[in-house]
Amino acid sequence: MQADLIIQNATLSDGRTGQDIVIAHGIVQAIGPGIDAAAHEVIDAEGRLVTPPFVDCHFHMDATLSLGLPRLNQSGTLLEGIALWGELKPLLTHEAVIERALAYCDIAVAQGIGAIRSHVDVCDDRLLGVEALLEVKRQVAPYLDLQLVAFPQDGLYRSPTARENLVRALDLGVEVVGGIPHFERTMEDGRRSVVDLVAIAAERGLMVDLHCDETDDPNSRHIETLAAETQRLGMAGRVAGSHLTSMHGMDNYYVAKLIPLIAEAGVAAIANPLINIAIQGRHDSYPKRRGLTRIAELEAAGVPVAFGHDCVMDPWYSLGSGDMLEVAHMAIHAAHLTSQDAMRSTFAAVTTVPAAILGLEGYGLAPGNPAHLVLLDASDPIEAIRLKANRLAVVRHGAIVARTPPRLAELDLEGRPREVSLRRQRAAS
Ligand code: FE2
């Protein structure tokens, strides 16, 4: 067989080692040990990890890279972030939103991200963000899957034209229904918004992804309504609750009833570890809550749990670099996911689990699937997270679209090696 690209001696995220990956016509043709084939390009992975691309299932591409416009968030709270975004919105231009979003997509691709679900604010009557991100979606389609969520940032009912705008956005081609029930004026308005939004999605055959209970208030229980409505309307597998941070502070007795409902309803959970740890707990003195949802308990009940990056250099968060390994790293620390199995589950939470939530077709390293993959400078998923390993090669449709050299420091110490790598040093046999 004459292949376009062969990656030799790869380790896969399921633990298989010594694997050759043969790619032709943009498709994975074969995976296995010692495959005899010729190719235009051969990469020796030398035992390094080759993974399907990272998937970021919760992001805000209309706000990204806008840090400092028109000012910085002084308190660091969610509410000041929303107010600040409200100040920036009237100043946005179509061209500037596209330029920043494309710049972020460059970063994302370099970091090995192959798909992003981005919320887009629909509370601007011009639908400027929606039109800009639909254009970005078209432009990046060859190298990045961008899925858009119609997100009524200022409240479906709290903002007078939000509901009408949300429907307009769906008519324009935005494919997922969003919401923000905890930000509505009353608990009852929040509950009604959930019922309304799931019904809109069911009627149109769309998926749902609500910012749900992104608060420290343990009485914010909109996830209960979201799960019940998902079950009632037969929407299992098509609905996600993003953030769910109120679950952190909820009464354990109530949670013992709630988690089985979420599992039975087929609702997925999306945590945003970098943002949750930074934004939640701001009204606490000491102890300060960590604010992440109950990741381990949800997973143990069979609920799919994925992680999003949420923000990069925007009104809510000043940091971030499109690195889903950094996201997993934070989850391990903030949610005590330190066992070997738990750490591996955080790798799944930025790859396979969000791919399923987005409904990506042909995702994963298997013959017949599109050849989208990432070669990491690490031996396995846990080392990848530990080092936030460099993406040595990012492959899309069988072509290398990004390369980053390995990180090697040059040492100048008497009697010590000249070069030092942070990768685990194996004992010589
Ligand atoms: Fe968000």
> Tell me: the pLDDT tens digits for 33-73?
999 999 999 999 999 999 999 999 999 999 999 999 999 99
pLDDT tens per residue, range 220-272:
999 999 999 999 999 999 999 999 999 999 999 999 999 999 999 999 999 99
Q: Using an 8 Å Cβ cutoff, are 8 and 20 in contact?
A: yes
pLDDT above 90 for 429: no
The set of residues, in sequence order, having a beta carbon less than 8 Å from that of 26 and lying 6+ positions away, is 4, 370, 371, 397, 398, 399
- Which of 341, 358, 375 is at the close of a domain? 358
Instruction: Indicate if 89 and 136 belong to the same structural domain.
Output: yes
Instruction: Indicate if 48 and 58 belong to the same structural domain.
Output: no
Tell me which residue of 419, 378, 316 sits closest to 49, measured CA to CA. Answer: 378
Residue 318, both tokens: 């000043």
The angle formed by the CA atoms of residues 146, 150 and 154, to the nearest 5 degrees, is: 130
Distance 19 CA to ligand 1 centre (A): 38
Residue 309, both tokens: 């990056």
For the segment 110-131, the average pLDDT, to the nearest whole number, is: 98
pLDDT above 90 for 322: yes
Residue list, CB under 5 A from ion ligand 1: 310
Q: Using an 8 Å Cβ cutoff, are 109 and 394 in contact?
A: yes
Q: What is the CATH number of the domain that holds 187?
A: 3.20.20.140
Tell me which residue of 253, 194, 251, 173 sits closest to 217, measured CA to CA. Answer: 251
pLDDT above 80 for 317: yes
The set of residues, in sequence order, having a beta carbon less than 8 Å from that of 148 and lying 6+ positions away, is 117, 118, 119, 120, 130, 133, 134, 137, 173, 174, 175, 176
Instruction: Indicate if 33 and 115 belong to the same structural domain.
Output: no
For the segment 370-399, the average pLDDT, to the nearest whole number, is: 98
Radius of gyration, alpha carbons of the chain:
22
Instruction: Indicate if 43 and 60 belong to the same structural domain.
Output: no
pLDDT tens per residue, range 7-38:
999 999 999 999 999 999 999 999 999 999 99
Instruction: Indicate if 81 and 222 belong to the same structural domain.
Output: yes
Domain extent, residue 15, equals 2-52+364-410
Distance 329 CA to ligand 1 centre (A): 19
Distance 275 CA to ligand 1 centre (A): 9
Residue 426: pLDDT band by 50, 70, 90 thresholds? low
Instruction: Indicate if 253 and 154 belong to the same structural domain.
Output: yes
Domain assignment present for 397: yes
**pTM of the full structure:** 0.97
- Which of 358, 390, 418 is at the close of a domain? 358
Domain assignment present for 229: yes
Annotated catalytic residue within 41, 46, 99, 214: 214
- Which of 358, 376, 396 is at the close of a domain? 358
For the segment 302-326, the average pLDDT, to the nearest whole number, is: 98
pLDDT above 80 for 274: yes
For the segment 112-137, the average pLDDT, to the nearest whole number, is: 98
Distance 63 CA to ligand 1 centre (A): 10
Report the mean per-residue pLDDT for the chain: 97
Distance 283 CA to ligand 1 centre (A): 20
Instruction: Indicate if 182 and 208 belong to the same structural domain.
Output: yes
Residue 304: pLDDT band by 50, 70, 90 thresholds? very high
Interatomic CA distance for residues 6 and 328, integer angstroms: 29
pLDDT above 80 for 427: no
Domain assignment present for 418: no
Instruction: Indicate if 291 and 397 belong to the same structural domain.
Output: no
Catalytic residue list contains 164: no
- How many CB atoms lie under 10 A from the CB of residue 97? 24
Domain assignment present for 419: no
Domain assignment present for 340: yes
Query: How many domains are contained in the chain?
Result: 2
Instruction: Indicate if 300 and 152 belong to the same structural domain.
Output: yes
Q: Using an 8 Å Cβ cutoff, are 1 and 24 in contact?
A: yes
Interatomic CA distance for residues 293 and 384, integer angstroms: 24
Domain assignment present for 381: yes
- Residue 424, pLDDT score: 81
pLDDT tens per residue, range 147-202:
999 999 999 999 999 999 999 999 999 999 999 999 999 999 999 999 999 999 99
Instruction: Indicate if 310 and 354 belong to the same structural domain.
Output: yes
Distance 309 CA to ligand 1 centre (A): 9
Domain assignment present for 22: yes
- Residue 425, pLDDT score: 73
pLDDT above 90 for 370: yes
Distance 265 CA to ligand 1 centre (A): 23
For the segment 131-146, the average pLDDT, to the nearest whole number, is: 98
Domain assignment present for 341: yes
